A and B are shown apart, each in its own frame.
Chain A
Amino acid sequence: MNSVVALIIGFAVALIGYYWYARYFDEKVIQVDRKKATPARMYMDGVDFIPTSKHVLFGYQFKSIAALGPVLGPIISLQWGWLPGLLWILLGTFLIGWIHDYSSAIVSLRNDGETFGALSYKLISPRGRVILLSFMYFYLLLIVSAFGSIVANMLKGTPSVPLAILALMAVGLLSGFLIYKKKMDILLVTVLMVVLSLVAIWLGTVVPIGGSYAVWVVFGLLFSFIGAVLPIWSYTQPINYISFYLVALGMLGAVVGILVGRPDFSVPVFTTYSIGVGPLWPILFVTIACGAISGWHSLVSSSGTARQLENETDTRYVAGGAMYMEMILALIALIIGAATFATFDDYAANLKALGPAGIFAAGLGALLGKLGIASEFGKAFAGAMLVILAITIMQLAVRFMRIATAEIAGEGSPFFRNTYVGAFIAVLLTYILVMTGTWSYIWTLFGGANQLMAALALMLVSIWLAKEGKAWYYTFFPMLFMLITTIAALVLTTRNLIVAASKLSAGAAAPPAGQSVGVAIGGNVISAAIAVFLIIAALLLAYDGLKMFGKARAGKLGKAPAPTAAPAAKA
Chain B
Amino acid sequence: MNSPETGRGPSPDPGKDRSARKGGGILQAAREFIYGMAAHDMTRFALKTRSSMEHLFILITMGDMLGVPILPPYYSLRLLPYVVPQISTWKRRMLREKDLMDAIF
Q: Which residues 65-102 of B sit at the A interface, judged by CB distance below 8 A?
A: 89-90, 92-93, 96-97, 99-102
- Please determine whether B101 and A64 come into contact, CB atoms closer than 8 angstroms: no
Given A45-B93, A400-B103, the answer on whether A63 and B37 have CB atoms closer than 8 Å is yes
- Please determine whether B35 and A299 come into contact, CB atoms closer than 8 angstroms: no
A-B contact count (CB 8 A): 140
Beta-carbon contacts of B32-72 to A below 8 Å, as 1s and 0s?
Answer: 11111111111011111111000000000000000000000
Q: Tell yes or no: A441 within 8 A of B by CB.
A: no
Q: Which chain B residues have a beta carbon within 8 Å of chain A's beta carbons?
A: 2, 6-8, 12-15, 21, 28-30, 32-42, 44-51, 89-90, 92-93, 96-97, 99-105
- Please determine whether A232 and B100 come into contact, CB atoms closer than 8 angstroms: no
Q: Which chain A residues have a beta carbon within 8 Å of chain B's beta carbons?
A: 43-50, 52-53, 55-64, 114-118, 133, 136, 186, 231-233, 237-238, 240-241, 244-245, 248, 299-300, 302-304, 396, 399-400, 403-404, 407
Given A53-B21, A114-B99, the answer on whether A244 and B38 have CB atoms closer than 8 Å is yes
Question: Within the complex, what minimum Cβ distance (angstroms) separates A42 from chain B?
Answer: 10
CA distance A244 to B34 in the complex (A): 10
Residue of A with least CB distance to B90: A45
Which A residues are CB-close (under 8 A) to B49? 231-233
Which B residues are CB-close (under 8 A) to A59? 32-38, 40
CA distance A61 to B42 in the complex (A): 13
- Please determine whether B39 and A241 come into contact, CB atoms closer than 8 angstroms: yes
Question: Within the complex, what minimum Cβ distance (angstroms) separates B58 from chain A?
Answer: 13
Which B residues are CB-close (under 8 A) to A57? 36, 40
CA distance A186 to B35 in the complex (A): 12
- Most chain A CB atoms below 10 A, which of B6, B8, B32, B38: B38
Which B residues are CB-close (under 8 A) to A118? 97, 99, 101
Given A45-B96, A46-B93, the answer on whether A303 and B101 have CB atoms closer than 8 Å is yes
Residue of A with least CB distance to B52: A47
- Please determine whether B7 and A44 come into contact, CB atoms closer than 8 angstroms: yes
Question: Within the complex, what minimum Cβ distance (angstroms) separates B27 from chain A?
Answer: 11
- Most chain A CB atoms below 10 A, which of B28, B36, B38, B104: B104
Residue of B with least CB distance to A399: B103
Which B residues are CB-close (under 8 A) to A44? 7, 89, 92
CA distance A69 to B49 in the complex (A): 30
Which B residues are CB-close (under 8 A) to A299? 101, 104-105
CA distance A53 to B93 in the complex (A): 21
Which A residues are CB-close (under 8 A) to B96? 43, 45, 48
- Please determine whether B48 and A47 come into contact, CB atoms closer than 8 angstroms: yes
